[in-house]
Structure 1
Amino acid sequence: MTALVAVAHGSRDPRSAAVVHQLLDVVRALSPSVDVRGSFLDLSAPLLGDVLRGVYADGHRSAVVVPLLLGKAFHARVDVPGAVADVRLPGLAVTIADVLGPDPRLESAALRRLASVGVRSRDRTLGVVLAGAGSSHAPANALVSSIADRWAAGSGWAGVEAAFASSATPDVPTAVARLRARGARRIAVASWFLAPGFLPDRVSRLAGPDALIAPPLGPDPEVAELILHRYHSALPTPLAATA
């Protein structure tokens, strides 16, 4: 059996790790035969290197690391490979799977979270902000913007604007102002975050006290299915998929 080692960014906010573990519980429920373990790059325990060493100590000789990241920014391109390389276990074959985004299942989860706070399609009084973390890597931001554009074309809302909590523009107040200028009388915020923490809280504050705030993607069944899909796609051999 090849272990599935999920790795999230990590946060000083304990809610973040708690939600990641809840999501991985859904993954385990969907595929009980897979050894699913959670880890973090920083700020939360256990760290990725420690989990990989534990996987090896428990008898595994192969593992797939699935980054719980929504885009291919710095953490995916640099931090995850670096943490894997630092482990230095010649007897453990480690494959790094693709990040979670882009994928329609993430969009479905984000729309379900919006619906959970009362947002409905075809409401011309409503403007929606799709809020992500923001990155110095422009393609990661462009991914969020492309989703916002797609939603705007088919939702029937007054408009949809991408916004970012840090490192990129527009920020949330700018996106809200653009929606107001388009005639939106109410504002809702869709979350392009996997779990709660400092940046989602910042987005909520900047959106204003009257905004409808959708929770992060969290322990959504389609997100869990996506994690398993990334794992199976990265398995080193067809035989491993049936182990």
Structure 2
Amino acid sequence: MSAAHRAAPGDGSGPRTGGPALLVVAHGSRDPRHAATVAALCARLRALRPGVRVEVGHLDFNAPSVPQALTRLHAEGARRVVALPLLLTRAFHAKSDIPGVLGETAARLPRLAVRQAEVLGPDRLLTAALERRLRQAGLRPGDECSTGVVLASAGSSDPEAIAVIAEIAREWRRTAGWCAVRPAFASAALPRTADAVRELRAAGVRRVAVAPYVIAPGFLPDRIAAGAREAGADVLAPELGDAPELVRLLARRYDEAVAAWSAPAAGSVPIGA
């Protein structure tokens, strides 16, 4: 199983009809807000790509599971499916869990080919969505030079994923003009959100904002929010949710996977079929 590597032109906002079905692969959560957010995101994606069938499969907790969703798509005539991980970094789920479940399911469904698309981040559309959420939380244009931002992600034990978050923080400071940006993690890595807020305060930053680099509410996003409140952050942005920038990015990743399917790179082939 190989992810798509060949980019399609545009930003994901152009029309597309037909083509492979799109299975959004969500982690799943016991928190009902998570599934509601994923459903809202997919509804906006269907409106952006009215000719593409968009379904959701979950790795855990929620139904349908990824195998259930693929089985239903196959039973209803789908023979090509782009599986798009609803993930912001390329960590364990993208490298192991998702390819494993896609491969096992495709192997028992005749003539079904599945291609795993790239994860969502890093991408400028994501930092644009973070900026939108910070403005919704109260920051105004011009506040950047007096505001330090904590880029708070869920966290991972994968060193590659942790390094990516640190690089996003560095690049975001450079492009947006924040006086400082510090990465933080809700689990598996340090610093925690509260510690990053306190670090910025100790460095003399006058205003501190926390930008959760997460898509949907749940246990770890709640931990980020609690850390922000504990340390007295001035601004706490909401999760990315169904931000239009995120919807456009999902559409772009789908287009990239379809383009790679039409003209695959050497050694890049879909699973199954």
Match of 2:262 in 1: 237
CA contact (8 A) 1:67 1:99 kept: yes
Q: Deviations over 1:213-242 (max 9, x none)?
A: 11111111221111111112112227xxxx
Match runs of 1:12-161 below 5 Å = 12-87=30-105, 88-123=108-143, 124-161=145-182
Cα distance in 1 for partners of 2:21, 2:174 equals 41
| Stretches of structure 2 lacking an aligned partner (at least 5 in a row) | 1-18, 264-273
Aligned equivalents of 2:165 and 2:141: distance in 1? 19
CA offsets, 1:145-165, max 9 Å, x none?
112112333544442111000
Residues 23 and 83 in structure 2, CA contact (< 8 A), matched pair in contact too: yes
For the 8 Å contact 2:122–2:168, the answer to whether it is kept is no
Q: Per the alignment, do residues 152 and 233 of structure 1 end up closer, same or farther by CA in structure 2, a change over 3 Å counting?
A: closer
Give me the TM-score of the superposition, normalised by structure 1. 0.92
Whole-Å separation in 2 of the counterparts to 1:137 and 1:47 = 24
> Closer, same or farther in 2 for the Cα pair 1:155/1:183, shift >3 Å?
farther
**Larger relative CO (CA 8 A, sep 6+): 1 or 2?**
2
Please report the RMSD computed on the Cα atoms of aligned residues, expressed in angstroms: 1.6
What are the ranges of 5 or more consecutive residues in structure 1 without an aligned counterpart?
Answer: 239-243
Percent of pairs identical after alignment? Answer: 48
Listed one character per residue, the Cα deviations across residues 18-47 of structure 1 (whole Å, up to 9, x for unaligned) are 001101111111110000001111111111
Match of 1:195 in 2: 216
- The CA distance in 1 between the partners of 2:152 and 2:102, in whole Å, is 30
What's the offset of the Cα at 1:106?
0.9
Q: Give the letter for the 1:225 counterpart.
A: R
- 1:179 aligned partner: 200
1:24 touches 1:36 (CA, 8 Å); kept in 2? yes
Give aligned pairs, total: 238
Q: TM-score normalised to the size of structure 2?
A: 0.83
Q: Could you tell me how far 1:187 is from its partner in structure 2?
A: 2.3
- Is the partner of 1:7 in helix, strand or coil? strand
